[in-house]
Amino acid sequence: MTERAGDIVNFDNVGLRYGTEPEVLSDLSFTLFPGSFYFLTGASGAGKTSLLKLLYLAQRPSRGAIRMFGKDMITLPREELPMYRRRLGVVFQDFRLVDHLTAFDNVALPLRLAGVKDSNLTKPVSDMLDWVGLTERAQAKPATMSGGEQQRVAIARAVIGRPDMLIADEPTGNVDPEMALKLLRLFEALNRLGTTVVVATHDVHLLKKVPESLIMRLNKGRLHDPTGALRFPPRPSGATTSRSDEL
Amino acid sequence: MSTPPLAKNLGRSDSAKASLPLRRREAANLVPQTRLGGPIPWVIAIMIALVVVAAAGGLALSNLANNARADLSGAVTVQIVEADADLRAQKAADAATLLIAQDNVSTVRVVPEDELGEMLEPWLGDGAGSQDIPIPALIDVQLSSASRPEQIAQLQATLDAAVQGTRVDAQSDWLQPVYSALSALQYLALALIGLLAFACAAAVWLASRSAFANHRDTVEIIHLLGGTDAQVTRIFQRSVVRDAAFGGFVGLVLGALAVWLLGRQFAALDSGMVAGGGLDWSDWAIIAAIPLAGIALALLTGRITILMALRRML
Ligand SMILES: Nc1ncnc2c1ncn2[C@@H]1O[C@H](COP(=O)(O)OP(=O)(O)OP(=O)(O)O)[C@@H](O)[C@H]1O
Ligand SMILES: [Mg+2]
């Protein structure tokens, strides 16, 4: 497998099956570059969440090779996984907030796990909650929040540590278009600071809002790459080929 | 639209400390229940109380056996069977004189007849004191060292040569079955303690497993956010230690109370044998350490359970 500095993610012929079911992902080969903005699209059940699970290290593939941050993730010992997970920010499709923690504590959780002192995290966490419009809800538990509020907490938690890669699964599914746009601006701002962003979405309108984005399309577990933007070896960086209007 | 507050690179700048476990307060926050829950603290308390009683019993028995052994190790009894009272007294005096002359004999005491009568009264009734029932004369002999069979044989031979109808017995020989019974009871106490420790570990194992299952979602989230096994284990460990500490303390109090009450009952018996079975301060120190051992056992069991459950997750 070719290895180039600069790749942040490298999939080579990856397949995934759950149990003895048929493969839900097949023959995935692609490269993601640091600092790029990717949309992952595809019909419901196409395998978007499954692909993201491989990316956020919640799942190991049934076959193929995955390298992330220049390291082989297949042979990586369990004990080293946390180190790599801390470089990721993840917005889960089902949010995955900790039920008995407040919005504030949920957002603070990745920082606390990384050993940041309480005195150092109060302001950034408050600022972030403010930015996603949840200052009033800072002390609320997830069960008392609306879907959109929970989603914003999940997003705040994903970006608070300024990860090397942001992985978001339908991050705007539960918010109004105005908030969706604001959240997208948050991802772009993070992207400009150097974070690689991968956003899975059905929302075609969203794709048009980020002109410099690259698009990965999944169809029944296979990657559709009509313009070769994701192929091995890919085109030079800056290629903004697979546009949304080609979908 | 304002700029998002992303200026500081927080999570990364602290990555050097990334392997530090969660500090106590945060760890406590992550799992809402501060206890493993339900009956577990009380189960631990009962186990600890039973261990305390068993241990106190074992220690008392061991003291009892040691004291008795020390008292009796050099004690020898000489019986002289002779129907005629005057002759019996004469023989006893002769034998005593002979015994005191021996190198390895330190003290000799002819037990007076009325003392013998008192000792036998419970068995023989009022007649014990009368001259109608011939009872043997008894001589208590204390050897300068623990009695050995050949010493006994040698004493017997010496007496046989001079006085007729004597019988020499080491007192420890009579007590041999008692010692065996005592040591069997001690092994029983040990086995009981072992079984209780096992049951305690099993209870903690079950409780930790169900606590882990109840909070599996939280554990998964913590993992996905970069939490380590050590951080997760610490969260659960705290509940285990709390419960075990509660159980240990309550168990110690209950157990010690039971031991103290039993001790008073036995003391009231006022029997020479039981008096040797008291507990001294070192025994109480061992008993006080039982809850600590219980907490350590619970902690270890809880840790291993959680770590094993974590190994099955990615
Ligand atoms: N844990 C699992 N066990 C078994 N099958 C699964 C599991 N998760 C997903 N699948 C199956 O894998 C396929 C792809 O699911 P996935 O969730 O990746 O799709 P998706 O593209 O994210 O869909 P959506 O847009 O609805 O979120 C589906 O057929 C689904 O039923
Ligand atoms: Mg999905």
Q: How confident is the model at residue A236 (pLDDT cuts 50, 70, 90)?
A: very low
Q: What is the pLDDT of residues B111-143, one digit of tens each?
A: 887 787 777 777 776 665 556 667 788 888 888
Q: How confident is the model at residue A142 (pLDDT cuts 50, 70, 90)?
A: very high
Q: In whole angstroms, what is the distance from residue B144 CA to residue B183 CA? A: 26
Q: Is the dihedral of CA B163, B167, B172, B173 positive or negative?
A: positive
Q: Between residues B179 and A79, which one has the greater pLDDT?
A: A79
Q: Is A53 in the pocket of ligand 1 (CB under 6 A)?
A: no
Model pLDDT, residue A244: 41
Spacing of C-alpha B258 from chain mean position: 14
Q: How confident is the model at residue A228 (pLDDT cuts 50, 70, 90)?
A: low
Interface ipTM: 0.87
B241 Cβ neighbours under 8 A, 6+ residues apart: B295, B298, B299
Please tell me the distance between residue A217's alpha carbon and the centre of ligand 1 in angstroms.
15
The conformation of residue B38, written as its DSSP 8-state character, comes to T
**Distances in whole angstroms, Cα of residue A11 to Cα of each of A25, A163, B140, B268:** 12, 20, 96, 83
Size of interface A-B (CB pairs under 8 A): 125
E-state strands within A150-221:
165-169, 196-200, 214-219
Q: What is the pLDDT of residues B11-41, one digit of tens each?
A: 554 444 444 445 555 554 565 554 556 788 8
Q: And the tokens for B206?
A: 């079950």
User: Among candidates B237, B314, B249, which has minimal Cα distance to B288?
Assistant: B249
pLDDT (mean) for A90-114 = 92
A88 Cβ neighbours under 8 A, 6+ residues apart: A55, A56, A57, A163, A164, A165, A166, A167, B226
Please tell me the distance between residue A75's alpha carbon and the centre of ligand 1 in angstroms.
25
Every domain of chain B and the residues it spans: 23-69+177-311, 73-173
Q: Is the dihedral of CA B261, B264, B266, B269 positive or negative?
A: negative
Model pLDDT, residue A234: 47
Q: How confident is the model at residue A138 (pLDDT cuts 50, 70, 90)?
A: very high
Q: In whole angstroms, what is the distance from residue B289 CA to residue B32 CA? A: 31
Nearest 5°: the CA angle A196, A199, A200 is: 145
Model pLDDT, residue A2: 45
Topology (CATH level 3) of domain B73-173: Alpha-Beta Plaits (3.30.70)
Q: What is the pLDDT of residues A208-219, one digit of tens each?
A: 888 888 888 999
Which residues of chain A make contact with B231, given a CB cutoff of 8 A? 113
Q: Is the dihedral of CA B148, B153, B155, B156 positive or negative?
A: positive
Q: Is A68 in the pocket of ligand 1 (CB under 6 A)?
A: no
